[in-house]
Structure 1
Amino acid sequence: MKRRTFLTALAAAAPAGYLLTTVDFNSDTTLNHTYNPKLPYDRVPSDWKGTPRLSNGLFQNLHHPFEASLAAVVKWKFSKNPQEEEKKTDKRRLEVHQMPNPLPSGKDQLIWLGHASYLMRLAGVTILTDPVWIDNWALKRHSKLPLVPDQLGKVDYILVSHDHRDHCDEATLRLLGKLMPQATILTGMNMSPLLKPWMPKNPIQEAGWFQSYDLKESLRITFVPTRHWSRRGLTDTNQRLWGGYFIESGDRSIYFMSDSGYDRHFKLIADTMGSPDYAIMGVGAFKPEWFMHPVHTSPMDAARAFMEMGGKHFIPMHFGTFDLSNEPLLEPLDWLKANPVAVDGRMIYPVVGRNLLA
């Protein structure tokens, strides 16, 4: 296999991993802070300076700098998975309910479409998060999509949390750009050059952490920190900002984590934005933990973060749809069902295609 093909295959096989980069992480750089001057800050931590960005242009996590290691990903991919046989024999899949068409009008909705993709309808506004709906060479769905895309109807906002392929799929976004060119893309800084060729008619807003988007409706969506990283090709590590979303309507608040390792930012978000009514937390793609924990929360870490945030309802995601790591597809849900006290009995059981709002 040619060297470039091998590295590209590793990138597909290890979407949460650390891959070869041309960036010298030991070079002399200074830490700066940045933001989008076109967007407001509504609420920020008391000592907030802006989104961390190195003088070489690369974005930075708040507390733990990202470091790339080809050796680590090679060690993982060429080590024996102790759960390999268990994964082969475990044929269980997520429960999927086909969604009605059209959706009931005038009712708030929070519908899981698999992995990190949700359809939300809040105060009459329709939102999609991280739509990855079409199989490609890197990702194959193990849970059926519960809707027909061209029957979805009007969508106001599409949230793209970062550039990794299990959250940002070119084929899906090209399709949505044709079906709903009026939808505004809400994303992180420096994502436009990636997204605009796929969705040339869609307006795009880029935010720094704790900045709120410019929305017409009585809805507030704020881009918030995660402990993660970004990469699309072989030489663009951390050139685009990653993050999650804090979504507020008149009577509900929803925290959408996206991808994140455990860190102090969860408590920081709650202290700044308030405790969320619904916390949508990633729980899958967490093994081997020595490799995954800086960038993905395990169900144990997600439960801990949820309790620190003081959320009312816990909704697990980022498991069961794509096979990204060593654990069986439904192991995160198994752990949460066996340990309900970890989230104080506040978990909403996740079913693809069903409205999860209590």
Structure 2
Amino acid sequence: MPKIRYNNLDNVSTDKTLKEFRQWREERRRKSKDYTFKVPHHPPDLDFLHANREETTVTWVGHSTFFIQYNGLNIVTDPVWAEKMGFQRRLGPPGIPIRDIPPLDVVLISHSHYDHLHLASLRKLVSAKTLLIVPDGLKRKMVRKGFHRCHELKWWEHLSVGGVKITFVPAQHWTRRTLFDTNTSHWGGYVLESAATVSPAAAESAIAKASNEGSPRTSAGSGSREHRNKGGIRKPEGGAAHHFSVSPPTVYFVGDTGYFPGFRTIGERFDIDITLMPIGAYEPEWFMTSQHVTPEEALQGFVETGSELMVPMHYGTFRLADDTPREALDRLEAERQRLGIAAERIQVLGHGETLRIRHGEDEQT
């Protein structure tokens, strides 16, 4: 039986020829890059993170790995605690040591590339109660690797877990883990929405129900964009950023992507508060353009989603391309100023730093 091969919207190709790959390697050898800048490391507030089941939090571990607390659920995205990626050593330690991650309810996998899915990390994180949510086509592989509590989603499908609606949305990318499985599973991002805060017991019950065969999986549809009264933003001196919102925030984890019209479409379907957006691995641009956004394209996509806050990711952890962390941040800041986007709307986190989102009218400032 022939394998399914997945595509991008409008069938945009990310294929590169061997000649193009060799040209990039030749260019790289002629470049001299300054990697002295390191993403700041912030000792994580482990006592708070282990006790918290109320506030929404986003803690950057590194690359595309976040620890997210959302409506009573502990969630990790694209788990990678590896010290090396190929021949490239990690540029800085993970923001939270893997042994210190609170017990997980859900793991979200955007696609199967090694820098987004590290099986050794996953085995250390997953317990009998943890639910894996993966793109269409990837579940069979994960079950073969021993991860039986696994649910796969097609683009625009969603799964409700403990009062949290998790929707798998498009991205422009590709995937491969071996010579023979190119694009045999899909790729994308996730949107987290919440209707109400639920108890940990209710969340655990929903996870158990969702992991069974035949668990609900429905199309997201076009939906409506009901406007919600969003609160203000402040960043205390020397502390983690805080965002105050009247209602629970909607979080969009972009995954790995080139710039594509899907940003606008996703923004039309969801009322997004926080976008976790890649900004790195874009150089050389002639080679990377279809699969990785530049910092300027990241901001363009952020604007098109209609999101209030952007948290940069996918930089400063592994040297996957020829850009440096400093270059990515400098280009991001220059474009922010050019576009006139308020500085507080771009929340640049250090490794281990937590963005805390407090919601409820009694807490609004």
- Normalised by the shorter chain, which TM-score bucket? 0.7 to 0.9
Instruction: Kindly report structure 1 stretches of 4+ aligned residues shifted beyond 3 Å.
Output: 197-200
Q: Please say which of residues 137-146 and 279-288 is displaced more in the overlay.
A: 137-146
Q: 1:314–1:343: 8 Å Cα contact kept in structure 2?
A: no
Q: Match for residue 37 of structure 1?
A: none
Aligned pairs (5 A) from 1:136-151: 136=84, 138=86, 139-151=88-100
User: In structure 1, what is the Cα distance between the partners aligned to 2:169 and 2:118?
Assistant: 21
Matched, 1:301 2:297: yes
1:230 to partner: Cα distance:
1.0
C-alpha distance in 1, partners of 2:299/2:306?
11
Residue 270 (str. 1) matches residue 267 (str. 2)? yes
Counterpart position of 2:184: 239
Deviates more, 1:339-348 or 1:323-332: 339-348
Does the aligned pair in 2 maintain the 1:81–1:326 contact within 8 Å? no
> How far apart are 1:282 and its partner, in Å?
0.6
SS at 1:325 equivalent: coil
C-alpha separation in 2, matches of 1:266 and 1:220: 19
Establish whether residue 211 from structure 1 lines up as the match of residue 157 from structure 2.
yes
Aligned: 1:135 with 2:83: yes
Code of the residue aligned with 2:331 in structure 1: it is W
Choose which of 90, 96, 112 in structure 1 pairs with 2:41.
Answer: 96
Residue deviations 1:309-330, cap 9 Å, x none? 1110111110000001111232
The farther-off stretch of 142-151 and 114-123 is 142-151
Is 1:59 aligned with 2:6? Answer: yes
**Deviations along 1:271-328, whole A, 9 cap, x unmatched?**
1223x10011110000000000100001000101111111101111100000011112
**Separation in 2 of the partners of 1:199 and 1:343?**
49
Tell whether 2:141 aligns with 1:157: no
What secondary structure, in the 3-state scheme, does the structure 1 residue paired with 2:27 have?
coil
CA deviation digits over 1:187-238, x for unaligned, max 9?
10111232224343x41010000000242x1111100000101111112111
Residue 181, structure 1, aligned to residue 128, structure 2: yes
Q: Which residue of 2 aligns with 1:18?
A: none
CA distance in structure 1 between the aligned counterparts of 2:110 and 2:133, rounded to whole angstroms: 8
Asked if structure 1 preserves the Cα contact closer than 8 Å seen for 2:75 and 2:105, the reply is: yes
In the alignment, structure 1 segments of 5+ residues that lack a partner are: 1-54
Aligned mates of 1:343, 1:76 — CA distance in 2: 34
Alignment check: 8 A CA contact 2:6 2:186 kept: yes
Name the SS for the 1:63 alignment partner.
helix
- CA offsets per residue over residues 69-94 of structure 1, 9 Å max, x none? 22222221122456x32x2x431100
Q: CA deviation at 1:173?
A: 1.3
Say whether the 8 Å CA contact 1:303–1:343 is kept in structure 2. no
| Deviation, structure 1 residue 164 | 0.4
**Which residue of 94, 106, 115 corresponds with 2:63?**
115
2:143 to 196, 199, 217: 196
Aligned twin of 2:242: none
Deviation at 1:56, TM superposition (A): 5.9
Q: What secondary structure, in the 3-state scheme, does the structure 2 residue paired with 1:304 have?
A: helix
Determine the C-alpha separation between the residues in 1 that align with 2:171 and 2:100. Answer: 33
Q: RMSD between aligned alpha carbons?
A: 1.8
Local SS of the residue matching 1:330: helix
Q: Secondary structure of 1:111's match? A: strand
Contact 1:283 1:332 in 2 (8 A): yes
Aligned mates of 1:239, 1:91 — CA distance in 2: 38
| Distance across 1 between alignment mates of 2:188 and 2:157 | 11
Where structure 2 has 5 or more consecutive residues not aligned to the other structure, the ranges are 196-247, 358-365
Match for residue 248 of structure 1? 193
Paired AA for residue 269 in structure 2: T
Distance 2:311 2:178 in 1: 31
Shift of 1:338: 3.0
Maintained 8 Å contact 1:174/1:198: no
User: In structure 2, the residue corresponding to 1:150 is in which secondary structure?
Assistant: helix
Correspondence 1:283 to 2:285: no
Distance 1:119 1:203, change over 3 A: same
Pair 165,249 (structure 1): closer, same or farther in 2 beyond 3 Å: same
- What corresponds to 1:332 in structure 2? 328
Partner residue, 2:220: none
